[in-house]
């Protein structure tokens, strides 16, 4: 259809920004609370962070299904992807976020957010080595700022209070889990792009539904195998406030995903990157202020470098001149 009038599209962009900010800042706050806060007087912690991913995947596949029903979008075109097309990215998108959540037992939420922000560094390294890609000087500077910023942040002294909150403080393990998360996320994104290239009629909502259904299958199998689901539900019955947190985690995740797919479809991936990156900055601030995870001077310097590098990379992408296609 035709493009929306500038006024209308500004309203849409603002609603995307508010939707993504609201849902993910809230989800970040809740996920930090679930992974670091003991419930009840006895200091018990929630026993199964993976079960949160299962519940969220259920909520997201349901949300996508309902959105498709409301919008009247069918997912059965000849050139649209089937459930089986998404089995591999479905697996990697199950393992990746699980590692990211588990990292919260070992490193603070601000550390995890920053570590997951350096996605462009491995992308550029692999692009240079494997695909002979050339990047501009500014892009290398941005990547360097991000990489060094993460290094400064991770090596800087942590406050005793931030350390006390962690279930089992372990920088190597925490950052290692974030690297695994990044690696799997990178593969997931590349594979999703591949599926969309081969099956161009696939709608983003049907992709969201299929990806999350695989998450349900894989997470469900894992949790059934190790009996964590029973532990998690017993814990939630014992501490209703934990059940409320888990519900919030799922709802905010599902709403956030709908906004992300809407933003990519309407404004493209650069707009999404810009929104999600600035959102991370506010998540870190909220963690520091509301959940009292104090950062010390060295950590602020590292965080500043990371966000400066991210801002620079967004600016470079936004000002890149599109290459003219030969006619």
pTM: predicted TM-score of the whole model, two decimal places: 0.77
Evaluate whether residue 306 is within a structural domain. Answer: no
| Mean pLDDT, the chain, whole residue set | 83
Name the phi and psi angles at 38, rounded to 5. Answer: -75, 140
Whether the CB-CB separation of 227 and 51 falls below 8 Å is answered with no
| Average pLDDT of span 120-124 | 72
Residue by residue, DSSP assigns 51-64 as HHHHHHHHHHHHHH
Buried b (16+ CB within 10 A) or exposed e, 296-318: eeebbebbebbbebbbbbbebee
Q: Which residues form the domain of 64?
A: 19-130+161-268
Evaluate whether residue 211 is within a structural domain. Answer: yes
Inform me whether the pLDDT recorded for 297 exceeds 70.
yes
In the chain, helix, strand, coil percent, each to 5? 80, 0, 20
Whether the CB-CB separation of 199 and 65 falls below 8 Å is answered with no
Evaluate whether residue 253 is within a structural domain. Answer: yes
Q: Which of 305, 277, 314 is closest to 150 using CA atoms?
A: 305
Whether the CB-CB separation of 266 and 15 falls below 8 Å is answered with no
Name the phi and psi angles at 74, rounded to 5. Answer: -90, 150
Q: Give Cα separations from 126 to 83, 120, 132, 194 (angstroms).
A: 29, 10, 9, 17
pLDDT band of 322, cuts 50, 70, 90? low
Question: In this predicted structure, what is the pLDDT of residue 272?
Answer: 80
Query: What does the alpha-carbon distance between residue 233 and residue 235 come to, in Å, rounded to a whole number?
Result: 5
Q: Which of 104, 59, 92 is closest to 257 using CA atoms?
A: 59
Evaluate whether residue 1 is within a structural domain. Answer: no
DSSP classification of residue 156: S
Per residue in 231-284, pLDDT (tens digit) is 999 999 999 999 999 999 999 999 999 999 888 878 877 678 778 877 887 877
Residue 86 CB coordination number (10 Å)? 24
Count of domains in the chain? 1
CB neighbours of 238 closer than 8 A, spacing ≥ 6? Answer: 40
pLDDT band of 3, cuts 50, 70, 90? very low
Evaluate whether residue 299 is within a structural domain. Answer: no
Inform me whether the pLDDT recorded for 93 exceeds 80.
yes
Residue 7, CB half-sphere, CA atoms under 13 Å: how many?
A: 0
Evaluate whether residue 183 is within a structural domain. Answer: yes
| pLDDT above 90 as % of the chain | 29
Residue 44, helix vs strand vs coil? strand
Question: In this predicted structure, what is the pLDDT of residue 251?
Answer: 96
Number of residues that make up the chain: 327
Question: In this predicted structure, what is the pLDDT of residue 5?
Answer: 39
pLDDT band of 4, cuts 50, 70, 90? very low
Buried b (16+ CB within 10 A) or exposed e, 189-220: bebbeebbeebeebbbbbbbbbbbbbbbbbbb
Evaluate whether residue 250 is within a structural domain. Answer: yes
Residue 225 token pair: 């195998």
Evaluate whether residue 146 is within a structural domain. Answer: no
Three-state SS annotation for 22-41:
HHHHHHHHHHHHHHHCCECC
Question: In this predicted structure, what is the pLDDT of residue 321?
Answer: 64
Whether the CB-CB separation of 320 and 139 falls below 8 Å is answered with no
């Amino acid at each position: 259809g035709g493009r929306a009038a500038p006024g209308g599209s500004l309203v849409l962009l603002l609603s995307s920004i508010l939707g993504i900010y609201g849902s993910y800042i809230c989800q970040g706050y809740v996920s930090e609370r679930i992974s670091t806060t003991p419930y009840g007087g006895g200091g018990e912690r929630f026993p199964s962070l993976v079960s949160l991913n299962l519940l969220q995947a259920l909520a997201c596949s349901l949300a996508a299904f309902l959105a498709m029903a409301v919008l009247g979008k069918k997912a059965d075109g000849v050139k649209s992807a089937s459930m089986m097309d998404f089995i591999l990215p479905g697996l990697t998108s199950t393992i990746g976020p699980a590692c990211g959540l588990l990292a919260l037992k070992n490193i603070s939420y601000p550390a995890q957010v920053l570590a997951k922000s350096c996605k462009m560094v491995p992308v550029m390294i692999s692009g240079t080595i494997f695909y002979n890609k050339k990047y501009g000087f500014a892009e290398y500077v941005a990547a360097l700022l991000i990489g060094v910023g993460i290094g400064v942040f991770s090596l800087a002294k942590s406050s005793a209070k931030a350390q006390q909150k962690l279930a089992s403080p372990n920088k190597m393990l925490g950052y290692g889990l974030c690297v695994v998360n990044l690696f799997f996320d990178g593969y997931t994104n590349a594979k999703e792009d591949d599926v969309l290239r081969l099956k161009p009629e696939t709608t983003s909502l049907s992709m969201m539904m299929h990806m999350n259904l695989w998450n349900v299958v894989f997470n469900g199998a894992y949790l059934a195998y190790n009996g964590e689901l029973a532990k998690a539900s017993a814990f939630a019955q014992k501490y209703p406030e934990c059940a409320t947190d888990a519900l919030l985690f799922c709802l905010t995740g599902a709403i956030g995903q709908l906004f992300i797919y809407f933003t990519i479809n309407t404004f493209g991936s650069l707009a999404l990157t810009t929104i999600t990156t600035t959102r991370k900055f506010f998540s870190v601030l909220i963690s520091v202020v509301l959940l009292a995870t104090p950062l010390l001077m060295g950590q602020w310097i590292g965080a500043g470098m990371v966000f400066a590098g991210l801002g620079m990379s967004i600016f470079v992408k936004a000002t890149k001149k599109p290459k003219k296609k030969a006619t």
